[in-house]
């Protein structure tokens, strides 16, 4: 790589984030694949080694586990989920125009967000409010799978499972997928991920949040309001319950894209893109993998072809740009979108400089 990131350039990137009055704490780690670039910085109430909730970036870890379980022949993407959820009555979970499609849902539909199941988190309930609305008001509640299924049965699905060109981001999918992982392995989610990922990578500051008294992770914000939701975060599991640091997420991200968990060439299998529209943002979703939406006008003379990885609702991120061999991890700890814009801006500026 001919691009060398000096301290001045990185400090300017960090200053741009720190100067955003809607962001109260952040951390950013940028590394190149060959190790020639390695910078980590923090702003506000964070240090470079601060632990934080990685939120839906957790789902990229889920992809790694699912790919390994496929290699172990525990299941295939085409298997119906009813085969692996004998402890749940899934009847009438997905009823559209009077027809029950629950038995048609596959593991592929869950991990690609093409099941059509409504998102318990953002889907409007009959009264017009969402679960997200209540949480953003500071109402800390558990949302285990059993409660999610009860709510989802009352909501209208988005489309038939696997409908061509249809996709809808749904945390419900991942809650179901988490229980399937537990059932096929006979182990709890924390134990599965510790065995398959955390111990293999020797991650010491990465774990599933479970102890309600654990105040180690930095809090996140909704606008200027600090949120501390330990009950909720402890209940969401594979939906978004991992705590980590920017450097340890970087270790995982590099391992993910470099064949540590499954053959590197199989990344192409995950690139079956559908465009996701708000909420929670505009991006492409594949098989357990996201791609940033980068319009041509952002970099017309040096096109940015792919920025691959995952967003988290709390402003967390883990992305890789193959063209520049640059990796980005961190968080802005802001739910209202300002953090996502600041993080994507930092990544795009760096990539444009390196192209």
Q: What is the pLDDT along the chain (355 residues), one digit of tens a residue?
A: 557 788 899 999 999 999 999 999 999 999 999 999 999 999 999 999 999 999 999 999 999 999 999 999 999 999 999 999 998 889 999 999 999 999 999 999 999 999 999 999 998 888 889 999 999 999 999 999 999 999 999 999 999 999 999 999 999 999 999 999 999 999 999 999 999 999 999 999 999 999 999 999 999 999 999 999 999 999 999 999 999 999 999 999 999 999 999 999 999 999 999 999 876 678 999 999 999 999 889 888 889 999 999 999 999 999 999 999 999 999 999 998 899 999 999 999 999 999 9
pTM above 0.95, yes or no: yes
CB contact at 8 A, 298 and 348: yes
Domains of the chain by residue range:
7-354
What is the CA angle 100-101-104, rounded to 5? Answer: 145
Task: State the Cα–Cα distance between residues 121 and 344, nearest whole angstrom.
Answer: 24
Beta strands in the chain (DSSP E): 25-32, 38-44, 52-53, 95-96, 99-100, 207-208, 220-222, 225-227, 242-244, 274-276, 283-285, 290-292, 308-311, 316-321, 326-331
Topology (CATH) of 7-354: Beta-lactamase (3.40.710)
């Amino acid at each position: 790589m001919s691009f060398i990131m000096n301290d001045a350039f990185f400090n300017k990137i960090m200053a741009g984030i720190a100067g955003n009055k809607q962001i109260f704490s952040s951390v950013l780690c940028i590394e190149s694949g060959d190790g020639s670039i390695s910078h980590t910085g923090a702003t506000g109430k964070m240090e470079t080694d601060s632990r934080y909730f990685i939120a839906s970036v957790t789902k990229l870890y889920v992809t790694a586990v699912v790919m390994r379980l496929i290699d172990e022949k525990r299941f295939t993407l085409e298997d119906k989920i009813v085969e692996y959820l004998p402890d749940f009555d899934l009847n009438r979970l997905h009823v559209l125009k009077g027809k029950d499609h629950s038995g048609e849902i596959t593991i592929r539909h869950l991990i690609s967000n093409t099941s059509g199941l409504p998102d318990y988190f953002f889907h409007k309930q009959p009264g017009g409010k969402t679960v997200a609305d209540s949480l953003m008001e500071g109402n800390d509640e558990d949302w285990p799978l059993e409660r999610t299924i009860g709510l989802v049965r009352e909501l209208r699905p988005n489309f038939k499972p696997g409908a061509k060109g249809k996709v809808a981001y749904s945390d419900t999918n991942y809650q179901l997928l988490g229980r399937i992982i537990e059932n096929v392995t006979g182990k709890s989610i924390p134990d599965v991920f510790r065995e398959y990922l955390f111990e293999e990578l020797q991650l010491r500051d990465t774990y599933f949040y479970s102890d309600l008294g654990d105040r180690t992770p930095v809090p996140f914000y909704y606008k200027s309001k600090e949120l501390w939701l330990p009950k909720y975060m402890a209940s969401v599991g594979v939906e978004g319950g991992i705590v980590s640091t920017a450097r340890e997420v970087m270790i995982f991200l590099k391992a993910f894209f470099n064949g540590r968990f499954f053959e590197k060439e199989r990344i192409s299998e995950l690139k079956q893109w559908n465009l996701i529209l708000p909420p929670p943002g505009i991006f492409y979703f594949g098989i357990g993998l996201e791609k940033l939406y980068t319009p041509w006008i952002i970099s017309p003379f040096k096109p940015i072809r792919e920025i691959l990885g995952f967003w988290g609702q709390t402003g967390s991120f883990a992305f890789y740009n193959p063209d520049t061999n640059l990796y980005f991890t961190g968080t802005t700890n802001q739910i209202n979108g300002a953090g996502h814009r600041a993080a994507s801006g930092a990544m795009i500026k760096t990539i444009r400089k390196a192209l």
